[in-house]
């Protein structure tokens, strides 16, 4: 906050120095030499560095300073209305210049902010394109550094995608069958003429077909 205040005070001082320099030069050259356009300098500086309000204040102050310098140089009008009219015309010109430059500066700032946001967004977006060299057996992908990486590692490094591993139904069934955990994979032996005793039965019965 202090830095901003110091910068604003410095800019105000600089604008006033420019205005006073223009006013002294206008006084030294006299009213016969037109110096009106140079009063735009402090207004333009205030509009560009301090904003619209400061530009309008500087425009009003510049019109007053111009009127004062014009009077000090001994410029005599046939009617005071002419002097007032000239001052009003210059004031309107100063306000238009100040408002226009402040508006242009605001538009440029918004465009710069939008451009910076777009560049930031584009920097975060990574797009996979072109032909990817991939192993036909292990499905590893060869990177730009000629290193073979797992597909998940490569895609994660070159995009915003994240992987969550799981098993599809076909692979899940195949793994269960290989582990002997699938339905019907481990059925008890039911050969004809035989029965297995129950493990918790202390008195297993005689086998069927045994001689008494």
Q: Is residue 15 in some structural domain?
A: yes
pLDDT at residue 172 in the model: 85
Q: Is 134 helix (H, G, I), strand (E, B) or coil?
A: strand
Sign of the torsion angle spanned by Cα atoms 75, 81, 86, 90: positive
Helix (H) or strand (E) holding 170: helix 169-179
* Cβ contacts of 52 within 8 Å, gap of 6 or more: 98, 99, 102, 103, 106
Among residues 48, 45, 23, the alpha carbon closest in space to that of 36 is found at 23
Give me the tens of pLDDT residue by residue for the chain, a chain 212 residues long. Answer: 566 777 888 999 999 999 999 999 999 988 888 888 899 999 999 999 999 999 999 999 999 999 999 889 888 888 889 989 999 999 999 999 999 999 999 999 999 999 998 888 777 666 677 788 889 888 888 888 888 999 888 888 877 778 888 888 888 888 888 888 766 544 444 444 444 444 455 555 444 444 33
Q: Is residue 48 in some structural domain?
A: yes
Same domain, 60 and 152: no
Each residue of 154-175: pLDDT tens digit?
Answer: 888 877 778 888 888 888 888 8
**Tally of structural domains, the chain:** 2
Token output for 63: 């019109």
pTM of this structure? 0.56
CA distance 192 to 186: 18
Same domain, 137 and 90: no
Domain that holds residue 163: 129-179
Beta bridge partner(s), residue 149:
141
How many Å is the Cα radius of gyration of the chain? 45
Rounded to the nearest angstrom, the gap between the alpha carbon of residue 160 and the centroid of all alpha carbons in its chain is: 17
Same domain, 18 and 101: yes
Instruction: Confirm if 75 and 55 have CB atoms less than 8 A apart.
Output: no
Same domain, 67 and 161: no
Each residue of 92-129: pLDDT tens digit?
Answer: 999 999 999 999 999 999 999 999 988 887 776 666 77
């Amino acid at each position: 906050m202090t830095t901003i205040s110091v910068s604003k005070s410095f800019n105000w001082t600089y604008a006033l120095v420019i205005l006073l320099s223009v006013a002294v030069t206008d006084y030294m050259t006299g009213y016969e030499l037109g110096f009106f356009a140079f009063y735009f300098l402090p207004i333009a500086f205030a509009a560009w560095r301090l904003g619209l309000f400061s530009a309008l204040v500087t425009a009003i102050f510049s019109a007053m300073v111009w009127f004062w310098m014009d009077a000090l140089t001994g410029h005599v009008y046939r009617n005071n209305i002419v002097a007032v009219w000239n001052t009003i015309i210059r004031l309107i010109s100063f306000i238009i210049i100040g408002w226009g430059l402040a508006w242009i500066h605001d538009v440029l700032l918004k465009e710069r902010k939008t451009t910076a946001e777009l560049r930031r967004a584009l920097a975060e977006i990574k797009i996979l394109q072109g032909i990817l060299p991939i192993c036909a057996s292990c499905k590893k992908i060869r990177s730009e550094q000629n290193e073979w990486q797992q597909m998940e590692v490569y895609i994660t490094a070159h995009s915003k995608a994240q992987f969550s591993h799981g098993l599809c139904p076909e692979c899940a069934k195949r793994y269960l069958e290989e582990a002997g955990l699938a339905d019907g994979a481990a059925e008890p032996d039911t050969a004809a003429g035989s029965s297995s005793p129950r493990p918790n039965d202390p008195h297993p019965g005689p086998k069927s077909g045994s001689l008494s």
